[in-house]
Structure 1
Amino acid sequence: MAIGVSLACPFPAQQQERAMHKIEIPAYATQRAMERRGRIHLFDRIDPAKTAHIVVDLQNGFMAPGQPAEIATAREIVPNVNAISTACRQAGALNVFIQNTIDAETHSSWANWFAYFSNPERRKRMDAAFAEGSFGHQVWPGLEVTEDDLKVLKYRFGAFVDGSSGLHKELQARGVDTLIITGTATNVCCESTARDAMMMNYKVIFVSDGTATFTDAEHNATLANMMTIFADVMSTEEVVGLLEGSAKPALVAAE
């Protein structure tokens, strides 16, 4: 009988007004994954030198209380995202911080989104929140960012769609073929980025307790989509273990 997968968070969440998601991947997703590939997890090892941790839109505009696109749950995943970032640095992988950005050109080239999916009042608030240089545009201060990390501006939900960002070019220049996805919103920018990445031939790991959105239902629906078709769904603990295990041969050889 097929069973669902429940992935508990191994790192303590901060006490905020909204708890982390209750992760319950539905049984049909695990069953279809097993039928398609014969196992739940896709990747036993990765090459850290060819791996990038893509931190999607963890900015004040999505995380600070009272901001127009606030997702309270996103504040709770910060310890997990930092743990993965640290593991990436230690293993020799790249950290990339994506920043959702709105400007005049975006309004022109993506006019239908702004015209039909957002009322004028909200559109005005979002424009102000995600204008380059604004408070909302800045990376959340609780994230650990170093001078070796990369920041990339993004002008669509998915980071890889044409006209959205220079992420693909940056990754290709560094020989990256494997992506670890964290950030917010799980079912919007994270899912859009992961879907396109897989179809552009990247190996994709989607972090179940390193992504966040408005409700558990939306979060788990995306995890089901990822597991069934698009990515290897792992917990933070599993990702950190994968990075540490994959880096060991290189570290031994260097000694």
Structure 2
Amino acid sequence: MAGSSSSYKKYQTRTRNPNPKASVLLVIDMQNHFSSIAKQIIPSITFTIQTCREASIPIIFTRHCHKSQGDHGMLGEWWNDLIIDGTYESELMNDLGRRKEDMIVEKHTYSAFRGTGLEEQLKEMGIEEVIITGVMTNLCCETTAREAFVRGFRVFFSTDGTATSDEALHEATLMNMAYGFAYLVDSNSLKHALP
């Protein structure tokens, strides 16, 4: 479930606009495996992607997948439905407006930074800020946001472009993000914030 775009303002402790010259949009794990959760936020994400394209902000998609029995770590103990590379479930959803020039980062844990080379890639690109959208709010999106923050990136976390299985989990993440890790934005506020 995604939160309504106005409900997050009660958690907001700071406000700031992204710098389009130093930002990247991360679209986390919008894969067929998560389609029942992700389908409700497709309009917000596609609007955000279009907004970022208009502002010349690069778009990076992440794809969660496991290529072997040895690459799942604790996830294999925690979940019984791992996403195996090469399956339909592992493919990115078709209706996101992804372009062939958009980078795809493959990951096998909650963090888009762990063992992926993403941090080095962003630094090479001169990126200082990440805008986070995708699924699941409280797992991969939150972990990636926290790791971005501790690596020195300014984080903007989408309230209507993230979703998870439960409204309470979504809200708890927004509360934590606003308190210590990220500026909260929604697709409309982002549109107004970017030139």
Same fold (TM over 0.5): yes
Counting aligned pairs with the same residue, the percent is 28
Secondary structure at the residue paired with 1:217?
Answer: helix
- Greater relative contact order (CA < 8 Å, ≥ 6 in sequence): 2
The answer on whether the counterparts of 2:49 and 2:59 sit within 8 Å (CA) in structure 1 is yes
Q: Select the structure that is richer in strand.
A: 2
Q: After superposition, give the CA deviation of every residue in 1:21-46 in whole Å (9 maximum; x if it has no partner).
A: 3464495x44xx3xxxxxx31x23x3
The answer on whether the counterparts of 2:157 and 2:183 sit within 8 Å (CA) in structure 1 is yes
The answer for the alignment partner of 2:105 in structure 1 is 152
The answer on whether the counterparts of 1:58 and 1:183 sit within 8 Å (CA) in structure 2 is yes
- Higher Cα Rg: structure 1 or 2? 1
Q: Structure 1: which 5+ runs fail to align?
A: 1-18, 34-39, 64-71, 245-255
2:39 & 2:186 partners in 1: Cα distance? Answer: 17
| Matched residue count | 194
1:25 & 1:91 partners in 2: Cα distance? Answer: 24
**Quick one: which of 84, 87, 101 aligns to 2:48?**
84
1:20 & 1:155 partners in 2: Cα distance? Answer: 24
The answer on whether the counterparts of 1:22 and 1:216 sit within 8 Å (CA) in structure 2 is no
What is the 5 A alignment of 1:1-20?
A: 20=2
**Mapped pair 1:177 → 2:139:** no
Deviation at 1:238, TM superposition (A): 0.7
Deviation at 1:140, TM superposition (A): 0.5
Task: Describe the shift of the 1:132–1:211 C-alpha distance in structure 2 as closer, same or farther (beyond 3 A).
Answer: same
Deviation at 1:172, TM superposition (A): 1.4
Please report the TM-score for the alignment, with normalisation by the length of structure 1: 0.71
**Quick one: which of 13, 16, 21 aligns to 2:3?**
21
Please report the TM-score for the alignment, with normalisation by the length of structure 2: 0.91
Deviation at 1:108, TM superposition (A): 2.6
**Mapped pair 1:133 → 2:86:** yes
Secondary structure at the residue paired with 1:96?
Answer: strand
2:44 & 2:139 partners in 1: Cα distance? Answer: 20
The answer for the alignment partner of 1:199 in structure 2 is 150
1:194 & 1:156 partners in 2: Cα distance? Answer: 14
Root-mean-square deviation (Å)? 1.9
The answer for the alignment partner of 1:113 in structure 2 is 75
